[in-house]
Every structure is written in structure tokens, then in C-alpha cells.
Chain A
């Protein structure tokens, strides 16, 4: 099973709203990622968590706040976003606990975010 789930599928929010995106995996993976993808562009890395600790922050604005409550769950808290933040937000995971297939990232279906 190589399933990564993301909720919600779609989200519309105003610039003053606070919302959260959720990502979950039950593959025993120890690394989880947030990507932002604009239309017709490749995904851009935002954050990486490894063993529940933030290991990479690609200079993302503070209006995006990641959280990793446990090894299966990754959240992205959103506050005071701008219209240009509208995009597809993808979550991915990798690093099987048994050391198999450690390099491959498996992606979720994404959350389509629209900021009004």
C-alpha cells in the first residue's frame, strides 16, 4: 500500500481566515514533505520533516506553518494568505522504517487551495 491521503480536496479561504491542510500516511515512512504546485509548473518543495522534526524549510513565508504531531500525520496551518498563494498543495512521504525504498517519495492527491 503506497497511499498518502490529503484533506480537504478543495479549500477556498479569505485572506483573513485561518485554515489547515492535513496529510496522512500509514506506510511507516519517516520523512514527510509539503510541496506547492502552480498550474503547469513542477512542484516546489516547501518543508521536510524527518522523524517528526523539521529538517528543511525552503524559506517559506511564516503565514505557512507546518506541524508534525506524529510520524503518520503532517499538517500545514494557513493564516493571512495572499491570492498568489492559490495553488495545489501536495504532500509526500518516504523512508520506509525497514530501510526499503528509502529514496522514493510517494505523493498524495493534493489540496487545491484558492485564496480570495
Chain B
């Protein structure tokens, strides 16, 4: 069975600091997709970043970047220069060949002023 594990239920960092959210997953498939979604208190699920497993290069979107270690099945999210608007629940997600998303339990991130 495919699983996604986020080991940090909650984190707090000061504004402008860098924070890393961890995610590990388990699968026997060789080709798949990984995502980080953000869900602020407004509850809209927003795509932060996506990574295709067959690509070696780590995905980057502005202040957001991932450290994708395929052999270790690790997919961490780094947020640089954190902002108050980054406060949200962050879900790591894995998509299998059936296009079904498997979500981790989430990490609640608080950016402190």
C-alpha cells in the first residue's frame, strides 16, 4: 500500500526565516508525481509545487523549493523568507498511476510576526 508520512504535526517560525517541512512516502512504483498543497484558514487547497519522479532536478517555485530524494523516498519542502501569508496547513501528496492522490496528515505551519 502507498503511504505518505508527515512527521511534523505543527511548526512555528519567525517571519523571514527559512523553514523545511518533511515528507516521506512509500511506493513500489517507479514513475509517479509528488505535490505540496497549502490550505490556509480560508480552506482553499492551493497547489504549491509539483515534482515528477522521473526528473532528477528539484522543483522550484519562487520562495518554495523541494529536496527530492527518490532512493530515500523523501520529498521535503523548503520555504525561504517566510511570510505571514504562508501560515497554513501543508499537505504532502503522492499521485499513483490511477490518478488517485494520497495525502499525508498535514503539517500546520504558523509564521510569527
Contacts and interface: CB of A to CB of B under 8 A. Distances in A.
Note whether A and B form a binding pair. yes
Interface of A: 2, 31, 40-43, 45, 48, 56, 88, 90, 92, 94-95, 103-110, 112
Nearest to A9: B43
Contacts of A88: 43
Contacts of B91: 42
B66 to A, nearest CB: 15
Secondary structure of the B contact surface, majority rule: strand
A106 B47 contact: yes
A42 B103 contact: yes
Given A94-B99, A106-B47, A41 B105 contact: yes
A104 B43 contact: no
Contacts of B16: none
B100 A48 contact: yes
Given A103-B33, A104-B50, A43 B45 contact: yes
Contacts of B95: 103
Interface of B: 33, 35, 37, 42-47, 50, 52, 89, 91, 95, 98-101, 103-106
B64 to A, nearest CB: 15
Contacts of B50: 103-104
Given A42-B91, A42-B105, A42-B106, A107 B44 contact: yes
Given A42-B106, A104-B35, A56 B100 contact: yes
Given A103-B33, A103-B95, A104-B35, A45 B100 contact: yes
A105 B101 contact: yes
Nearest to A112: B43
B105 A31 contact: no
Given A42-B91, A109-B42, 7 more contacts: A40-B106, A42-B104, A48-B99, A103-B95, A107-B45, A110-B43, A112-B43
B35 A90 contact: no
Nearest to A94: B99
A94 B104 CA distance: 20
Contacts of A106: 47
